[in-house]
Amino acid sequence: MTIRSTGGRIAAYVWLVFAALNIIDLVFGVTGDATYSLTAFTIAVLLLLGCGIAYTVGLRPAIIGDEDAVTVRNPLRETRAPWPAVREIVGTSALTVKFDGPDGRELETRAWIHQTSPRAQAKAEERARRSQDPAAAALKGRTPAAYAAQQLNEIRERQRTKAKSGAPDRAAEAKAEEAAATGTISWSVPAVASLAAPAVVLAGLLIAGAVR
């Protein structure tokens, strides 16, 4: 299961196309004379910085649930927690995963996508209370984060059931794996680089312009 923000991805692709067309225009002079001035280089780097933002904010964030673990990709950081290490997955105003960390402490991560404002959540709950149909009420009161949490919990339960349904030795092995499993939170090198590289170049160009 992979959940992404459709609106964020569309906006990111629109910016990438816009940036590519403008950089091509700067280099080849499609709509005018090609220019290689300091201003042109600065504009190009600004466009590349925008591409880095589009990637980290629009394309990268995702919630992924597979047979082994749940992965939450936020703009700059990534959390991966094996199912045995997961303690709780809840979805209210945002999807939150609590899991065992490498040092035995409980860690928590919030997903960037599917966040809902408290006001929108309150409205959904009010619609659910007013509904006469219990099934419809459950749907009206459920936020996107809550639905994502439900899907992930179903995957988690399937994996736990599968691990416990084998032979006794396999069940004991699964229990040992559950006790030893830990999740991790790490920085995304490509995401950081996509922002840091053009930012450093832009700073250098601005300094060069100021010196001139």
φ/ψ of residue 143, rounded to 5: -85, 165
Cβ neighbours around 65 below 10 Å, total: 22
Least Cα distance to 110 among 77, 140, 87 occurs for 77
Q: Which amino acid is at 84?
A: P
Give the 3-state secondary structure of residue 171. Answer: helix
How far, in Å, are 14, 59, 176, 201 from residue 48 at the CA level? Answer: 14, 15, 48, 10
What's the pLDDT at 14? 98
HSE value, Cβ hemisphere, 13 Å, CA-based, for 197: 12
φ/ψ of residue 188, rounded to 5: -90, 110
* H helix intervals, the chain: 6-28, 38-53, 118-130, 134-140, 144-164, 168-180, 189-211
Q: How do residues 78-104 score in pLDDT, each as one tens digit?
A: 999 999 999 999 998 899 999 999 888
Give 7's pLDDT tier (boundaries 50, 70, 90): very high
Average pLDDT over residues 124-129: 64
Average pLDDT over residues 8-33: 92
Is residue 137 over pLDDT 60? no
Domain ranges of the chain: 2-60+189-211, 67-187
Q: How do residues 148-186 score in pLDDT, each as one tens digit?
A: 999 999 999 998 888 766 656 555 565 666 667 899 999
